[in-house]
Amino acid sequence: MSAFLRVIVYGGIVVIVGAAVMLTRLTSIEAPEARIAASVAAPMAAAAPVAPNAAALVAPTDRVDPLWAAETGAATGIPARAIIAYASADLTVGAEQPGCGLGWNTIAAIGAIESVHATIDGSRLDGQGYPSPPIRGPALDGHGFAAIADTEDGVWDGDAVWDRAVGPMQFIPSTWADWAADGNGDGMTDPNQIDDAALATARYLCATGDLSSPQNWRAAVFSYNHLESYVDDVAAMANRYTTAVGSQPAAG
Question: Which pLDDT score is estimated for 229?
Answer: 95
Helix pair 80-96, 66-76: axis angle to 10 deg: 120
Instruction: Kindly list the averaged pLDDT for each block of 10 residues, start to end, along the chain of length 252.
Output: 31 32 26 34 27 55 89 95 95 94 96 96 92 82 73 70 81 90 93 96 96 94 94 95 74 35
Backbone phi and psi for residue 81, each to the nearest 5 degrees, phi listed first: -65, -35
Cβ neighbours of residue 136 under 8 Å, at least 6 residues apart?
157, 158, 159, 164, 165, 166
Question: Which pLDDT score is estimated for 148?
Answer: 73
Distances (CA, A) of 243 to 15, 93, 226, 240: 14, 23, 26, 5
What is the distance between the alpha carbons of residues 75 and 88, in angstroms, rounded to a whole number? 18
Strand order in the sheet with 6-10: 6-10, 13-17, 21-25
Distances (CA, A) of 4 to 11, 18, 50: 23, 6, 40
Question: Which pLDDT score is estimated for 23?
Answer: 24
- Determine the Cα angle at 70 with ends 65 and 75, to 5°: 125
11 SS3 class: coil
Question: Which pLDDT score is estimated for 161?
Answer: 59
Question: Which pLDDT score is estimated for 20?
Answer: 25
Question: Which pLDDT score is estimated for 102?
Answer: 95
Question: Which pLDDT score is estimated for 109?
Answer: 97
Instruction: Using a cut of 0.85, tell me whether the model's pTM lies above it.
Output: no
Report which of 199, 17, 237, 210 is spatially closest to residue 102, judged by C-alpha positions.
Answer: 210
Report which of 85, 220, 114, 113 is spatially closest to residue 172, judged by C-alpha positions.
Answer: 114
Report which of 195, 194, 217 is spatially closest to residue 206, judged by C-alpha positions.
Answer: 217
DSSP state of 164: -
Pairing of strands 6-10, 21-25: unpaired
Cβ neighbours of residue 126 under 8 Å, at least 6 residues apart?
132
Question: Which pLDDT score is estimated for 142?
Answer: 76
Cβ distance 100 to 106 under 8 Å?
Answer: no
Question: Which pLDDT score is estimated for 14?
Answer: 35
Report the 10 Å Cβ neighbour count for 158.
10
Cβ neighbours of residue 83 under 8 Å, at least 6 residues apart?
64, 69, 72, 73, 76, 104, 108
Pairing of strands 21-25, 131-132: unpaired
